[in-house]
Structure 1
Amino acid sequence: MRQKPRHPLHAMGLMSAILSQLVGSTLIGIFGGKWLDHHFKTEPLFLVVGLLLGLATGIYAMYKLVHHYFSGE
C-alpha cells in the first residue's frame, strides 16, 4: 500500500486538532468536576473523576482522529 504525499499544512492541522481535543476535553472534565464538587460538597472527588474522564475522552478522540487521518478516508 502506497501512501500519497501530504501537504505540510495537513500535519499542522492534525497537530492543532489533537491539541485542541486533548486540552478541551480535559478542561471540560476539570471544570465539570469542580462544579459537581461545589454542588454536592465533595471537594476533590468529582474533580479527579472529571480529570480522568476528560483525559480518557481526549485520548480516544485523538486516536480516532489519527486513525481517520492515516486511513485515507
Structure 2
Amino acid sequence: MVILNKYPLRGIAITTSILSYLSGSTIVGILLGRWLDQYFETSPLFLIIGLLIGLASGVYGMIVLVKKFLGDE
C-alpha cells in the first residue's frame, strides 16, 4: 500500500469509489425491490431479492475497481 501513503488523494478517491459502489447499488436494489413489492403486493420477497442483488453487484463492482486500481488482471 505504498501508493496510498505516497498519494493520499488516490487513497481518498478509492475509498470514496468503494463506498459509492457498495451503498449506491444496495440502495437501488432496496428501492427497486420495495417498488416491486408494492406493485405485485408481495410483502418482503422482492425487497430481499433486491437487497441481495444490490449487494452482489456492489461487491463485484468494488472488486473490479480495486483490481483496476492496483493493476492486477
Query: Considering the TM-score relative to the shorter chain, is it more than 0.5?
Result: yes
Cα-to-partner distance string for 1:2-61 (whole Å, 9 max, x where unaligned): x98441110110000000110000000000000000000001000000000000000000
Runs of 4+ in 1 over 2 A off after TM superposition: 3-6
Structure 2 unaligned spans of 5+: none
Unaligned ranges ≥5, structure 1? none
The normalised TM-score by structure 1 is: 0.90
TM-score, normalised with respect to structure 2: 0.90
CA RMSD of aligned residues (A): 2.0
Q: How many residues align?
A: 71
- Percent identity of equivalent pairs: 46
Higher share in helix: 2
Residues of 1 paired with 2:28 and 2:21: CA distance? 10
